[in-house]
Chains A and B, each alone.
Chain A
Amino acid sequence: MSSKLKNAADLEAYRKRVAEKSRPSGKVVAICAGTGCCAYGALKLAPAFREELKKHGLQDKVMVRQTGCHGFCERGPLVVIQPEDTLYQRVKIQDIPEIVEKTLAGGEVIERLLYHDAGGQAYTKESEVPFYKHQMRLILAHNGHIDPTSIDDYIAVGGYAALGKVLSSMKPEQVIKMIKASGLRGRGGGGFPAGVKWESCRAAKSEDGVRYIICNGDEGDPGAFMDRSVMEGNPHSVIEGMIIGAWAIAHPGKPAGYIYVRNEYPLAVERLGIALKQARELGLLGENILGSGLNFDIKINKGGGAFVCGESTALMASIEGFVGEPRAKHIHTVESGLWNKPTNLNNVETWANVPLIIERGVEWYTSIGTGDVRDNPWGGSKGTKIFSLVGKVQNTGLVEVPMGVTLRHIIFNIGGGIIGGKRFKAVQTGGPSGGCLPESLLDMPVDFDELTKAGSMMGSGGMIVMDESTCMVDVARYFTHFLADESCGKCVSCREGLKQLSLILQRICDGQGRPQDLELMESLSETIREASLCALGQTATNPLDSTLRYFREEYIEHIEQKKCRAGVCKSLIRFRILADKCTGCMLCAKKCPQQCISGEKKKPHVIDQSKCIHCGVCRDVCNFDAVVVE
């Protein structure tokens, strides 16, 4: 059992002691143990590897380590063999004996387990796989190399060095100055300069010195899982950032920390819990941290399943034990927030950037990204951003790139383009508060301000790629319904406004759109945007507005011609069996829940349209591509 570290020098001595054990000179089998890979049984791989290695007598020569999320979830379970950096994807438990024998013992590479691109070319090294090659992995750098349940691993790769530097040689005001100069802007969606926020919070009056430091881990945007990956894969990076924040914002004083994690991330809650416990054991949380006089600890609060709790005032209400109803922010939360005390809230990824900036400096950090932040913290977007690239791309997963690369680079060079040879149609950024951008904007640099100008926003980093088989009216309907359901319901403009907008969009998708609906939606959208109380309502119409702006023809087609060109809206489509492709195998007829497909064996089948409910099962089961949607 380690005893508490007394000061920064103690920490460095500890680092040297654990380095050898954590960074072995022999081979390491790094198995991704993020939620995605675990869904594919990744947790069974480590014990299986260890057993197999024993059989070959290699258990002392090869280390098996479960790591955080590698980000290439679609290809999971992922296993990387170090130091060769060999990446194996879609590893099954049956593959393990072969891997041990051929690769670990024999030094050979197993071709079929390597990543192959659409053209069939195989890549051996993780760093060369196009998905990874074009990324700049700074926040996610250690995800594949450390065991998130081991603080020793984190310290061995340099973790908590930034904290040591801050607590032993930097005054709080100096830290704030550094964060301000770095141009770090909030990664949760707001894009507010972190240093400015820290400064305001420190300056706010607190009679008893109490200030709250909160981490917003309520990543509610559907399609976004960056924060999940950081919390699961490298929880200490977030904790270190928060302790540095506590020093900068509230010392001397009584800072107290909270990490609010959404209920749907049980693994993140677990890993954070372990990390906090280990940090306390080493004295990195608690009293007189590293002999600096800083007293600080962090508590985890689980959400209850409410998207609106990602809004800062709703989140704080939830911590206080109330429903997540936002309040107007005419008095900012940095002055009066949680329990009316000065509160500094930042997103998971924002906190994880802090140790990096402290360690490597402002000049390095500002060399990455866009704009100029020397005189104006809003003047650019610095550093990297993690995006979750999902939808109709070849390579889906987490992508970390410097601010300013183009959408085209992310979607095509890293994402590998659209699957199935279909055409790119749109990319939705920023979650339900963001908008859909068309092909004509693919060369837009991705940064806070450019995205907002185009009618979308960066949001937390969700990036959903859509192709010709996505109906843009259905997308607007989906997001509007989502927000109407997740709205706290306090203010009329959001609650009733989104409800009515949802009803109109549903009618349009059902083929009952009226010519006046477009104008009605536009005027309603204005009120929802202008008159709502919080950011949920104020950004709720972005999906509608952006699709109306860039894909208006589809709305007109739905309303005037009752046509859904993407073949999605149930009431506007038909499923049909192509007689020349149908082999009469009778599979669809068997599976049809309405029993409305008829036909003799080996003869083309026919769907009875009057009974068809458009469930799509026939298309799912057909092995001959004989079922089409029109």
Chain B
Amino acid sequence: MEASETVKFKVNGVEYTGQREQSLLDVLLELGYQVPHLCHHQAVTPYGACRLCLVEVQKGKKRRLTTSCNYPLLDGIEVFLDTEKVMRNRRTVLQLLLAQAPRAEKVRELAAEYGVTDTPFQVEDAENRCINCGLCARVCRDIVGVEAIAFSGRGLKKRMVSPYDDTAEDCIGCGACVYVCPTDCIGMKEENGIRHILRWKRKLPLKTCSVCGRPFAPTFQLNKFAEWSGRPREFFDKCQDCR
């Protein structure tokens, strides 16, 4: 993919020039357009799970409905946002998400923006928040490099769990997954010097800073950092502020 290639494209009739990019969604957001999305984050590869970022793209003679997160910005394309086809499908997707994750606040908010306040579909788990967006696993794998969690099963049974739904033993307790989750369904607590990542059933004792005495990071995590960076273990005995 030649990243330096200049491309000309249109959005809702307006002409733009840009660089050939991997994600049309990133381009649209940067240009200031509103395109809803839940499973996308600029820092990780697009996944295409939530189907909310739908747009219509005309390329040559073909016009098609597609998600924008994983559509590459190509020369000569015409993008149409919020067409009737896009809105119709987006609303049904929101209705499906409301039925899957009734307790997800973010989904409710987004749905309300598009006029969807309830769902004709059956709710199976009234307490569920998770929408299977996969961001937690992708961040853990691609950015943190640990891959402690991954989807299990497939189809109706697809769930994001730690292996065997037991303690995620590779998890270093960094909390990146908690930060990136759009529906706040992972949960992190710190009590009595222990960091607890709830959904992955991971409890890690925190190291206290050798200078200021504040508990700042799980010991397990610091050991890993020492291992990966090659720095001496003592380097990580001080918290970030005291280093």
Answer yes or no: A and B touching, Cβ < 8 Å.
Answer: yes
User: Interface-forming stretch among B8-16, B149-157, B193-201, B231-239?
Assistant: B149-157
Write out the residue numbers on chain A whose beta carbons fall within 8 Å of the beta carbon of B66.
328, 330
The 8 Å CB contact of A330, one of B70, B85, B121, B157, is B70
The 8 Å CB contact of B100, one of A487, A490, A496, A520, is A496
How distant is the Cα of A526 from the Cα of B88 in the complex, in angstroms?
A: 10
How distant is the Cα of A496 from the Cα of B99 in the complex, in angstroms?
A: 9
- Decide if B96 is an interface residue (CB 8 Å cutoff): yes
Tell me the chain B residues, 79-104 only, with Cβ under 8 Å from chain A: 85, 88-89, 92-93, 96-97, 99-100
The 8 Å CB contact of B155, one of A330, A484, A532, is A484
Distance in Å from the Cβ of A418 to the closest Cβ of chain B?
34
**Contact of B131 with A520 in the complex, beta carbons under 8 Å:** no
- Decide if B158 is an interface residue (CB 8 Å cutoff): yes
Distance in Å from the Cβ of B129 to the closest Cβ of chain A?
15
Which of B48, B50, B67, B122 has most chain A Cβ within 10 Å?
Answer: B48
How distant is the Cα of A500 from the Cα of B156 in the complex, in angstroms?
A: 10
Write out the residue numbers on chain A whose beta carbons fall within 8 Å of the beta carbon of B92.
493, 497, 523-524, 526-527, 531
- Decide if A308 is an interface residue (CB 8 Å cutoff): yes
**Contact of A328 with B154 in the complex, beta carbons under 8 Å:** no
The 8 Å CB contact of A500, one of B65, B99, B154, is B99
How distant is the Cα of A570 from the Cα of B89 in the complex, in angstroms?
A: 35
**Contact of A497 with B96 in the complex, beta carbons under 8 Å:** yes
Tell me the chain A residues, 286-332 only, with Cβ under 8 Å from chain B: 306, 308, 323, 327-328, 330-331
Write out the residue numbers on chain A whose beta carbons fall within 8 Å of the beta carbon of B49.
490-492
How distant is the Cα of A524 from the Cα of B92 in the complex, in angstroms?
A: 7
How distant is the Cα of A198 from the Cα of B88 in the complex, in angstroms?
A: 38
How distant is the Cα of A253 from the Cα of B203 in the complex, in angstroms?
A: 53
Q: 1/0 per residue B150-169: CB within 8 Å of A?
A: 01011111100000000000
Distance in Å from the Cβ of A559 to the closest Cβ of chain B?
16
Tell me the chain B residues, 50-80 only, with Cβ under 8 Å from chain A: 50-51, 54, 65-67, 70-72
- Decide if B120 is an interface residue (CB 8 Å cutoff): yes
Write out the residue numbers on chain A whose beta carbons fall within 8 Å of the beta carbon of B50.
491-492
* Interface magnitude class on chain A: 35 or more
- Decide if B132 is an interface residue (CB 8 Å cutoff): yes
- Decide if A489 is an interface residue (CB 8 Å cutoff): yes
- Decide if A125 is an interface residue (CB 8 Å cutoff): no
**Contact of B155 with A492 in the complex, beta carbons under 8 Å:** no
How distant is the Cα of A443 from the Cα of B122 in the complex, in angstroms?
A: 42
Write out the residue numbers on chain B whose beta carbons fall within 8 Å of the beta carbon of A306.
154
**Contact of B132 with A328 in the complex, beta carbons under 8 Å:** no
How distant is the Cα of A449 from the Cα of B134 in the complex, in angstroms?
A: 38
Write out the residue numbers on chain B whose beta carbons fall within 8 Å of the beta carbon of A497.
92, 96
**Contact of A533 with B48 in the complex, beta carbons under 8 Å:** yes
- Decide if A101 is an interface residue (CB 8 Å cutoff): no
- Decide if B47 is an interface residue (CB 8 Å cutoff): yes
Write out the residue numbers on chain B whose beta carbons fall within 8 Å of the beta carbon of A520.
120
- Decide if A495 is an interface residue (CB 8 Å cutoff): yes
Write out the residue numbers on chain B whose beta carbons fall within 8 Å of the beta carbon of A327.
48, 70
Write out the residue numbers on chain A whose beta carbons fall within 8 Å of the beta carbon of B132.
489-490, 492, 495
Tell me the chain A residues, 520-550 only, with Cβ under 8 Å from chain B: 520, 523-524, 526-527, 530-533
Write out the residue numbers on chain B whose beta carbons fall within 8 Å of the beta carbon of A80.
none
B71 to chain A: closest residue by CB: A330
Distance in Å from the Cβ of B25 to the closest Cβ of chain A?
12
- Decide if A505 is an interface residue (CB 8 Å cutoff): no
**Contact of A489 with B154 in the complex, beta carbons under 8 Å:** yes
Given contacts A487-B155, A490-B47, A491-B51, is CB(A330)–CB(B99) below 8 Å? no
B122 to chain A: closest residue by CB: A503
- Decide if A473 is an interface residue (CB 8 Å cutoff): no
How distant is the Cα of A484 from the Cα of B153 in the complex, in angstroms?
A: 12
How distant is the Cα of A1 from the Cα of B122 in the complex, in angstroms?
A: 66
**Contact of A328 with B70 in the complex, beta carbons under 8 Å:** yes
Write out the residue numbers on chain A whose beta carbons fall within 8 Å of the beta carbon of B157.
489
B134 to chain A: closest residue by CB: A490
How distant is the Cα of A328 from the Cα of B151 in the complex, in angstroms?
A: 19
Write out the residue numbers on chain A whose beta carbons fall within 8 Å of the beta carbon of B156.
484-485, 487, 489, 495, 498-499, 502
Write out the residue numbers on chain A whose beta carbons fall within 8 Å of the beta carbon of B70.
327-328, 330
Write out the residue numbers on chain A whose beta carbons fall within 8 Å of the beta carbon of B88.
526-527
How distant is the Cα of A502 from the Cα of B97 in the complex, in angstroms?
A: 16
**Contact of A308 with B154 in the complex, beta carbons under 8 Å:** yes
- Decide if A74 is an interface residue (CB 8 Å cutoff): no
Distance in Å from the Cβ of A397 to the closest Cβ of chain B?
32
How distant is the Cα of A425 from the Cα of B7 in the complex, in angstroms?
A: 55
Q: 1/0 per residue B93-127: CB within 8 Å of A?
A: 10011011000000000000000000011100000
**Contact of A500 with B155 in the complex, beta carbons under 8 Å:** no
B98 to chain A: closest residue by CB: A496
Write out the residue numbers on chain A whose beta carbons fall within 8 Å of the beta carbon of B158.
488-490, 495
Given contacts A500-B96, A527-B93, A531-B54, is CB(A488)–CB(B71) below 8 Å? no
Given contacts A328-B71, A530-B85, A533-B48, is CB(A493)–CB(B155) below 8 Å? no
- Decide if A486 is an interface residue (CB 8 Å cutoff): yes
**Contact of B93 with A493 in the complex, beta carbons under 8 Å:** yes
How distant is the Cα of A308 from the Cα of B54 in the complex, in angstroms?
A: 23
Which of A308, A327, A331, A492 has most chain B Cβ within 10 Å?
Answer: A492
A486 to chain B: closest residue by CB: B155
Distance in Å from the Cβ of A50 to the closest Cβ of chain B?
48
How distant is the Cα of A498 from the Cα of B121 in the complex, in angstroms?
A: 11
Distance in Å from the Cβ of A491 to the closest Cβ of chain B?
6
**Contact of A492 with B85 in the complex, beta carbons under 8 Å:** no
Given contacts A328-B70, A328-B71, A331-B72, is CB(A492)–CB(B96) below 8 Å? yes
A519 to chain B: closest residue by CB: B120
How distant is the Cα of A560 from the Cα of B34 in the complex, in angstroms?
A: 44
Distance in Å from the Cβ of B38 to the closest Cβ of chain A?
9
**Contact of A531 with B93 in the complex, beta carbons under 8 Å:** yes
Write out the residue numbers on chain B whose beta carbons fall within 8 Å of the beta carbon of A493.
51, 89, 92-93, 96
**Contact of B89 with A492 in the complex, beta carbons under 8 Å:** no
Given contacts A527-B89, A533-B67, is CB(A487)–CB(B154) below 8 Å? yes
Distance in Å from the Cβ of B137 to the closest Cβ of chain A?
12
Write out the residue numbers on chain A whose beta carbons fall within 8 Å of the beta carbon of B85.
530
How distant is the Cα of A544 from the Cα of B120 in the complex, in angstroms?
A: 19
Distance in Å from the Cβ of B134 to the closest Cβ of chain A?
8
How distant is the Cα of A530 from the Cα of B132 in the complex, in angstroms?
A: 20
Given contacts A489-B151, A495-B158, is CB(A531)–CB(B48) below 8 Å? no
How distant is the Cα of A489 from the Cα of B51 in the complex, in angstroms?
A: 13
**Contact of A330 with B72 in the complex, beta carbons under 8 Å:** yes
**Contact of B155 with A531 in the complex, beta carbons under 8 Å:** no
Write out the residue numbers on chain A whose beta carbons fall within 8 Å of the beta carbon of B122.
500, 503
A537 to chain B: closest residue by CB: B51
Write out the residue numbers on chain B whose beta carbons fall within 8 Å of the beta carbon of A495.
132, 155-156, 158
Given contacts A328-B70, A489-B154, A496-B99, is CB(A530)–CB(B93) below 8 Å? no
Write out the residue numbers on chain A whose beta carbons fall within 8 Å of the beta carbon of B72.
330-331
How distant is the Cα of A488 from the Cα of B47 in the complex, in angstroms?
A: 13
How distant is the Cα of A523 from the Cα of B119 in the complex, in angstroms?
A: 13
Interchain residue pairs with CB less than 8 A apart (28): A308-B154, A327-B48, A330-B66, A330-B71, A330-B72, A487-B155, A490-B48, A490-B134, A492-B97, A492-B100, A493-B89, A493-B93, A495-B132, A496-B97, A496-B100, A496-B121, A499-B155, A500-B96, A503-B122, A516-B120, A527-B88, A527-B89, A527-B93, A530-B89, A531-B51, A531-B93, A533-B48, A533-B51
Q: Which 3 residue pairs across A and B have the least CB separation, nearest first? A: A489-B158, A527-B92, A496-B96
A residues with CB within 8 A of B = 306, 308, 323, 327-328, 330-331, 484-493, 495-500, 502-503, 516, 520, 523-524, 526-527, 530-533
Q: Given contacts A492-B93, A530-B85, list 9 more A-B pairs with CB under 8 A.
A: A487-B156, A490-B134, A492-B96, A492-B131, A493-B92, A497-B96, A526-B88, A527-B89, A530-B65
B residues with CB within 8 A of A = 47-51, 54, 65-67, 70-72, 85, 88-89, 92-93, 96-97, 99-100, 120-122, 131-132, 134, 151, 153-158
